[in-house]
Amino acid sequence: MAKDLQQQAKGIGLKINVNKSKLVTNQNTDRRPPFIVAGQQVEQVSEFVYLGQTIGDSTKRQKEIGRRVTAGWRSFFKYKMIYMSKRTPMSLKRRLFNSCVLPAMLYGAETWSLTKREENRLAVAQRRMERIMAGISLRERKTNDWLRKLTRLSDVVRLYRQRKWRWAQRIARMDEDRWVRRVTEWQPRIGKRGRGRPKKRWRDEIVKTAGVRWMAIARNDKDRWRQLEEEFLRRL
């Protein structure tokens, strides 16, 4: 397949950059011959960053969430003086946060499948930023609800779930030959499943809320899909 890809690319004037190409697999390849493309060996890695997101051989998102939290803090500290200033109105801080920090924290969020622990990590980072914006320390014993009423920021976990739900509707409306649609419907495991808890799939939360016929609902019943979205967001 790699040779075919190389030949087809060459036919239209493109060349595979082997130095920037990586091999990721979920199988043990220690005893297999090296993967060669254009006379060069492709480096095998367990994970790498592709289009701004961490791609790896694991379904866990801890490292990607860590990268998103770091990106959020980097964007936050870029305007630290504005956020910490008591003279800056909260409305300006809120607009700046929603337009700069949240997009950095939620880049690619529609493709995530997070656990409660990973969602909580995003929420904790946002609450720390909110306390800096409000000039409130933990010693003052102000509740998170009180803080949110003061800042009136969009909740990062709610936005993540909203993006995922609306992306699911877009997938359902795609043609059946689109890769995103085909991968979403793909059933990779054949035969008896291995021991242990099943790995969490992207669509599991969607199915839990809308049922196995969620694609038909997303395509044909907008009102019902909107009602299910509210139910999905209430599960925070």
Q: What is the pLDDT of residues 12-23, one digit of tens each?
A: 999 888 888 888
Judged by DSSP in three states, 235 sits in coil
Helix, strand or coil for residue 217? helix
Domain count, the chain: 3
Residues 30 and 95 both lie in one domain: no
Global pTM reads 0.83
* 148 and 222 assigned to the same domain: no
The whole-angstrom separation of Cα 62 and Cα 140 is: 31
Q: How far apart are CA 200 and CA 62, in angstroms?
A: 14
The reply to whether 191 falls in a domain is: no
Mean pLDDT over residues 182-186, rounded?
87
Range of the domain at 78: 62-154
Domain match, 166 and 227 both: yes
Treating both helix axes as pointing N-terminal to C-terminal, what angle do 62-78 and 116-134 enclose, rounded to 10 degrees?
Answer: 10
pLDDT of residue 201: 84
> pLDDT exceeding 90 applies to what percent of the chain?
59
